[in-house]
Structure 1
Amino acid sequence: FFEIYEFERIRVENKDFSDEELSQNIKWTRDLKKSVRMGLNLELENNKIVPCFYRPYTKKLLYYDKYVNEMRYQLPNIFPNGKEKENIVISVNVGCPVFAILATNYIFDYALLKFGNGSTPCFPLYRYNSGNRIDNITDWGLKQFVSHYKNKKISREDIFHYVYAVLHNPEYRRKYEQNLKRELPRIPFYDDFRKWVLWGKSLMNLHLNYETIEPYPLRRTDIEPAGHSRCTPKLKADMKTGTIVIDNLTTLSGVPNTAWEYKLGTYSALQWILEQYKEKKIKDPTVAEKFNNYCFADYKEQVIDLLMLVCTVSVKTMEIIREMEK
């Protein structure tokens, strides 16, 4: 990318040229065209390669740079350097048929929880201004909770966890189902504030630290390949039998029914993973020719490990949600 950009920058320097004359081997966004016209030099900086939450429980690497990333909106004020643990955000979807919510401490894709024409706004715990970290929950917001519950010990993190729990509450989602399809959620005051805080904190710990949790003991069945037959990806789930067909050689079984019930929109967490790791036909001919080197077999063991981890997350998440319904 950078080699092509630099070649084009030098080639068109001090010349009049149309967009069509630029090399089609990279994607020229609006801002990137401005940069090349200005003669801006861009070089690869390895410290700008950071993990990104692309879809639920699926990370990809992102080159995080204001000249390369188009329309970053408020992300630089939330994750100024793109580093993990700079912040925690509660991501929700808006304008979607089914509400979804997920906390992350990574930069996230704006389509993280998107369905159709919806979007994925977020509520960060902090924001940054000129390198200074600022509490995103305002003094006014804190005062509302302290006043309502008559408890001066309530902290901003307590409120953050409370909100995360409330937005997982099935009763809340049923009551405000139509509102959640078209507008940002509003937060009611529930009785027993501390109980909701603890539920929210437990949920957030599960969802943020899913990679370090105890994997669920799914049963793995492998068969020997016949002759020189290659691995053919399947990545299909059968909820009735509790099985996941990984490929023509490997099947996972023993997925509990409750694991499928933890949904982020219309997909369960497990289904999100299966969908993201499928081999897909790339429509863009340039991308298909030059960059489509994905092969599921290279990620097979990683995906199996991830499914076992997220299965545990799903079961434990539903246990907490069931407690809310009592």
Structure 2
Amino acid sequence: MHCPAYRETYAEFLKIDFPRIPWPHDAAEFWDISEKGGQLRRLHLMEPAAIGPAPYPFTGEGDNTVEAVSFDNGHVWINGTQHFENVPEIAWNFHIGGYQPAQKWLKDRKGRALSFDDVRHYQNIIKILSETDRIMKTISMTLAA
């Protein structure tokens, strides 16, 4: 269901019903899709080995309080002086269903100070969204007409 061709082919159907699961064309296609699906599953379960290092440093002086969330040129600002660096725009704008997790997670914490664990968790979210996009772009499947 992460294959770009699948999402395009069944876009209207997915809005009104449960997803159709097409059968892979051959064994090689099945194993390729299966491996990539496994990678996505491990990422979405936030398994540390799957995520690896998250190169999005949190910088700036302040009390870590989320005030006004914004994205500007690879920086995700949480207030006037503190931000996450090197954030890919694709991760910031990534949609899952009807919301954008990179934005929603911070906006849900408006008025709160981020702890060390919160900062690490958000860095992992950015990494997961970036990797999800990268893996999704490599998934291909022969769809029956």
Task: Sort the TM-score into its range (normalised by shorter chain).
Answer: 0.7 to 0.9
Give the superposition deviation at 1:266. Answer: 3.8
SS in structure 1 opposite 2:78? Answer: strand
Superposition deviation, residue 232 in structure 1: 4.8
Q: For residue 74 of structure 2, what is the amino acid of its counterpart?
A: G
1:233 aligns with 2:80: no
Instruction: Give the share of equivalent positions with the same residue, in percent.
Output: 26
CA distance in 2, matches of 1:264, 1:310: 13
1:237/1:214 Cα in 2 relative to 1: closer, same or farther (>3 Å)? Answer: farther
Residue 253 of structure 1 is matched in structure 2 by 85
Question: Structure 1's 325 and 219: CA in aligned 2 closer, same or farther, altered over 3 A?
Answer: same
User: Conserved in 1, the CA contact under 8 Å of 2:64 and 2:82?
Assistant: no
Please list the CA deviations of residues 89-127 of structure 1 after superposition, one character each: whole Å capped at 9, or x if unmatched: xxxxxxxxxxxxxxxxxxxxxxxxxxxxxxxxxxxxxxx
User: Within 2, Cα distance between the matches of 1:277 and 1:196?
Assistant: 36
Q: Distance in 2 between matches of 1:198 and 1:231?
A: 39
- Give 1:258 shift: 3.3
Report the aligned-residue RMSD: 2.5
User: CA 1:171 to 1:314, structure 2 compared with 1: closer, same or farther past 3 Å?
Assistant: same
Q: Within the alignment, does 1:301 sit opposite 2:139 as a pair?
A: no
Letter in 2 for 1:251: H
Alignment partner, residue 55 of structure 2: 217
Q: Per chain length, whose mean CA-contact separation is higher, i.e. which structure has more relative contact order (CA < 8 Å, sep 6+)?
A: 2
Q: Which has the higher strand share?
A: 1
CA distance in 2, matches of 1:231, 1:253: 15
Question: TM-score, length-normalised on structure 2?
Answer: 0.78
Q: 1:190 aligns with which of 12, 24, 37?
A: 24
Which of 161, 175, 179 is matched with 2:13 structurally? 179
Judge conservation of contact 1:262–1:268 (CA < 8 Å) in 2.
yes
- CA positional deviation for 1:245: 1.2
Question: In structure 2, how many angstroms separate the alpha carbons of the residues matched to 1:200 and 1:249?
Answer: 39
Alpha-carbon distance in structure 1 between the residues aligned to 2:96 and 2:67: 22
Normalised by the length of structure 1, the TM-score is 0.38
